[in-house]
Amino acid sequence: MEQKVIMAGFGGQGVMAIGKLLAYAGMIEGKNVTWMPSYGPEMRGGTANCAVVVSEEEVGSPLISKDGTAAIVMNLPSMVKFEKELVPGGKLIINKSLIDVEPERKDLDVYYIEANELALELGNSKVANMVMLGAYLEITKAVEIESVLQAFVKVFGEDKRDLVPLNKEALLKGAQAAKK
């Protein structure tokens, strides 16, 4: 099993954070992983994306170029840019809260997740990224949600442990939304 996922959005939407969490969760599960960030010229508000590979085998390259198995896109410019990097049958997970058009490609499995609304239902708009990660995990089974929660404390530190329950709820909301 090898998952090659692109996560993309505006700076400040937490795409780097969920990329780190996915990569770290893969390490916790004993898988081979890579995480490669890419920032636009501005941090907050500019474009940001990362490529994560999670594999049972050794990873040959951290680059994803026309061979992505999935993309999590948080905004329209990210969808336009990265839908073409997926293989036919790839999973395109769209933040329906900010993207109101369909992708051009018709050979992808597309999932529309109202990430911002679901995050607001939890009382914190900042967990929209975790909603999207939860959807991705439900669709691909790349790693277990429990591994992501273990990774959360490792990545963000003990002082953020109190945020684990909220983030778990966000992951579960995303997973539930992906089932519909």
Domains of the chain (ranges; CATH) run 2-179 (3.40.920.10)
How much is the mean pLDDT over the chain?
94
- Give residue-wise pLDDT tens across range 85-125: 999 999 999 999 999 999 999 999 999 999 999 999 999 99
Cβ–Cβ under 8 Å, residues 74 and 13:
yes
Range scoring the smallest mean pLDDT among 32-36, 45-49, 54-58, 156-160: 45-49
Q: What whole-number distance in Å separates Cα of residue 138 and Cα of residue 173?
A: 10
Bridge-partner residues for 72, per DSSP? 7, 93
Give the predicted TM-score (pTM) of the model: 0.95
**How far is Cα of residue 100 from the mean position of the Cα atoms in its chain?**
19
Question: How many angstroms separate the first and last alpha carbons of the chain?
Answer: 25
pLDDT of residue 41: 62
Report which of residues 7 and 45 the model is more confident about: 7
